[in-house]
């Protein structure tokens, strides 16, 4: 959310900066056009006034000599005005450059005309009563203009680094009553100093206010949500569950309140389930024990052994079902355990029963586990390996942040397309793992549930040399 807000602000400020820059450029161009229009209109009216005054004086005084003197006075007056215009103002900025008269409007190489400015200036001049025959506008760096380079005062002004990049708008006007061009030069106003700095400060202030406000708001929302997420992930992991504190905005508080209520209902259902499973286990095992005693009175040894095996098979199935139902409802928290010692103790149990089980490879790894459950998972996998492969080889390896308990056999394996389904409850392979070999199809299911209870997983794979490889992969920081 913060990244999205920051990105949106960046895009908005970028668009604002572009619009402000274009608006500033338009204002500077408009100011230059107005100044050029003013210079051309003033020059045109000055010429008209000077011409009318000279004609009146000539008519009043008569003859050529007097006209020459008056015309000379007019020329001297205009020359003084032009020199004053070319001088600098007290603050160092140049005064308006004089309007020249030329036979042609000369452009330098790579200079282009600006039709949109030409149309706008034409409208301005025609509003002021000047008939426009042709009007051309180009832009040029002030230091590249011959007129500027001939004037030391302007060159001194341009020698200042702040003014070195000054631009000229050069306007050429031709009216219907004259074939000559009137050339007006206007210095484009410089961009306002500090505008970029102001925009950056404005952007920084907006970021501090909006992003900071969003951060505080989102933190108030996400902190209770993070606690709720962690609580949901830890639910059923054992230990006393204290209701979460209701904090944050009203919607989040309602969510936490609803979660606490749901957690209480689920805990009550699980407690009822445990009580019911205990009752079922007691009610079923008691008659099974009585049957086990009664079959001792059967004279036929083969029948007695078959009946005892059936009762033992029912008892094991019942134990597996009850164990599977209780996985995840450990009453005691996990304890730090050295896995190599745990595996060695389970392997010793099978060796004591003269079972071909070996512990070939071991790496030391101490993690938090539920010892009783992990023993049950190992026993189930080793029993499966013995039942279907005749022998079992157990090893322990550690790679990065994962610890693997590995059980390998030399049996027929499992078809690749049936590996996943074999970990489902009451599922047995028809060809290689049938009912005659024993089991109710809960051993792999229970091992997988125990691995997932510890934050890990059970992985089954056929070995290239034959047989099945079963791995209980646990995180090194397993609970």
The average pLDDT across 166-183 equals 88
The average pLDDT across 390-412 equals 89
**DSSP state letter for 207:** I
pLDDT digits (tens, 9 = 90+) for 54-73: 667 666 766 544 444 444 54
Rounded Cα gap, residues 398 and 364, in angstroms: 8
Q: What per-residue confidence (pLDDT) applies to 221?
A: 82
Q: Which residue has the tokens 């309602």?
A: 254
Q: For the chain, how big is the Rg over CA atoms in Å? A: 49
C-beta of residue 96 within 8 angstroms of C-beta of residue 85: yes
pLDDT digits (tens, 9 = 90+) for 407-418: 999 888 888 888
Q: Is the pLDDT of residue 432 over 70?
A: no
Token duo for residue 200: 């950056």
**CA-based angle 122:118:165, to the nearest 5?**
130
Q: What per-residue confidence (pLDDT) applies to 76?
A: 47
C-beta of residue 373 within 8 angstroms of C-beta of residue 327: yes
The average pLDDT across 299-305 equals 82
Q: Between these two residues, 368 and 320, which has the higher pLDDT value?
A: 368
Q: Between these two residues, 259 and 330, which has the higher pLDDT value?
A: 259
Q: Which residue has the tokens 């002030």?
A: 142
Intervals of CATH 3.30.565.10 along the chain: 334-475
Q: In 159-300, which ranges are continuous DSSP H helix?
A: 195-206, 212-234, 250-294
Torsion sign, CA atoms 412, 418, 424, 430 = negative
Collapsing DSSP to helix, strand or coil, 49 comes out as helix
Q: Is the pLDDT of residue 222 over 70?
A: yes
298 Cβ neighbours under 8 A, 6+ residues apart: 304, 307
Of 330, 331, 308, 327, give the one whose Cα is nearest residue 319.
Answer: 327
C-beta of residue 425 within 8 angstroms of C-beta of residue 471: no
**DSSP state letter for 185:** E
Q: How many CB atoms lie within 10 A of CB 37?
A: 23
Rounded Cα gap, residues 98 and 273, in angstroms: 102
**CA-based angle 277:281:283, to the nearest 5?**
115
Token duo for residue 106: 């000369």
392-399 and 357-361 strand pairing: parallel
Question: Which helix (H) or strand (E) element contains residue 32?
Answer: helix 2-61
Angle between helices 212-234 and 250-294 (to 10 degrees): 10
C-beta of residue 325 within 8 angstroms of C-beta of residue 334: no
pLDDT digits (tens, 9 = 90+) for 32-52: 888 888 888 888 777 777 666
Rounded Cα gap, residues 29 and 175, in angstroms: 23
- Spell out the SS3 assignment of 104-150: CCCCCCCCCECHHHHHHHHHHHHHCCCCCCEEEEEEEEHHHCHHHHC
Q: How many CB atoms lie within 10 A of CB 397?
A: 15
Q: What per-residue confidence (pLDDT) applies to 96?
A: 59
Q: Which residues of 103-115 are buried (b: 16+ CB within 10 A; e: fewer)?
A: eebeeeeeeeeee
DSSP string of 73-106?
HHHHHHHHHHHHHHSBPTTSPBPPPPPEEESS--
Q: Percent of the chain scored above 70 by pLDDT?
A: 81
The mean pLDDT value of the chain amounts to 79
C-beta of residue 376 within 8 angstroms of C-beta of residue 442: no
Of 333, 342, 389, 331, give the one whose Cα is nearest residue 364.
Answer: 342
Please give the CATH number for the structural domain made up of 334-475.
3.30.565.10
pLDDT digits (tens, 9 = 90+) for 191-202: 665 667 777 788
- Regarding pTM above 0.85, the answer is no
Rounded Cα gap, residues 49 and 43, in angstroms: 10
Q: Is the pLDDT of residue 344 over 50?
A: yes
Of 399, 352, 396, give the one whose Cα is nearest residue 374.
Answer: 396
DSSP string of 292-341?
HHHGGG-S-HHHHHHHHHHHHHHHHHHHHHHHHHHTT--SS--EEEEHHH
Question: Which helix (H) or strand (E) element contains residue 12?
Answer: helix 2-61
């Amino acid at each position: 959310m913060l990244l999205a807000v920051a990105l949106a602000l960046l895009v908005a400020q970028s668009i604002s900066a572009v619009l402000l820059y274009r608006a500033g450029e338009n204002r500077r161009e408009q100011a230059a056009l107005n100044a050029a229009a003013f210079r051309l209109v003033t020059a045109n009216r000055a010429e008209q006034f000077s011409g009318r005054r000279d004609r009146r004086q000539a008519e009043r005084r008569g003859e050529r000599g007097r006209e020459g003197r008056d015309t000379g006075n007019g020329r001297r007056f205009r020359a003084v005005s032009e020199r004053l215009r070319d001088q600098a103002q007290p603050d160092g900025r140049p005064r308006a450059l004089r309007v020249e008269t030329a036979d042609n409007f000369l452009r330098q190489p790579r200079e282009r005309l600006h039709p949109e400015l030409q149309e706008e200036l034409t409208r301005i001049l025609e509003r002021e009563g000047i008939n426009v025959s042709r009007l051309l506008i180009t832009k040029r760096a002030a230091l590249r203009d011959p007129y500027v380079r001939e004037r030391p005062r302007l060159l001194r002004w341009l020698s200042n680094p702040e003014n070195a990049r000054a631009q000229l708008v050069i306007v050429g006007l031709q009216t219907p009553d004259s074939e000559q061009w009137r050339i007006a030069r206007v210095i484009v106003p410089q961009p306002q100093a500090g505008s970029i700095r102001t925009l950056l400060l404005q952007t920084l202030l907006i970021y501090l206010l909006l992003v900071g406000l969003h951060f505080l708001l989102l933190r108030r929302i996400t902190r209770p949500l993070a606690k709720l997420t962690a609580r949901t992930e830890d639910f059923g992991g054992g230990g006393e569950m204290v209701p979460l504190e209701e904090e944050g905005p009203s919607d989040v508080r309602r969510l936490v309140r609803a979660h606490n209520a749901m957690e209480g209902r689920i805990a009550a259902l699980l407690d009822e389930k445990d009580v019911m499973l205990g009752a079922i286990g007691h009610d079923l095992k008691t008659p099974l024990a009585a049957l086990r005693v009664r079959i001792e009175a059967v004279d036929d040894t083969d029948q007695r052994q078959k009946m005892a095996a059936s009762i033992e098979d029912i008892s094991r199935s019942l134990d597996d079902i009850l164990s599977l139902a209780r996985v995840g409802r450990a009453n005691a928290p996990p304890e730090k355990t050295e896995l190599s010692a745990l595996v060695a103790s389970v392997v010793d149990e099978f060796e004591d029963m003269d079972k071909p089980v070996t512990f070939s490879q071991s790496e030391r790894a101490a993690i938090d586990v539920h010892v009783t459950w992990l023993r049950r998972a190992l026993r189930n996998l080793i029993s499966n390996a013995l039942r279907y492969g005749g022998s079992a080889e157990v090893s322990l390896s550690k790679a990065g942040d994962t610890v693997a308990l590995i059980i390998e056999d030399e049996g027929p394996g499992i078809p690749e397309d049936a590996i996943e389904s074999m970990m489902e409850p009451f599922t047995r392979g028809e060809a290689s793992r049938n009912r005659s070999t024993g089991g109710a199809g809960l051993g792999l299911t229970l091992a997988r549930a125990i691995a997932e209870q510890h934050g890990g997983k059970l992985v089954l794979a056929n070995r290239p040399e034959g047989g099945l490889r079963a791995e209980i992969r646990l995180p090194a920081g397993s609970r």
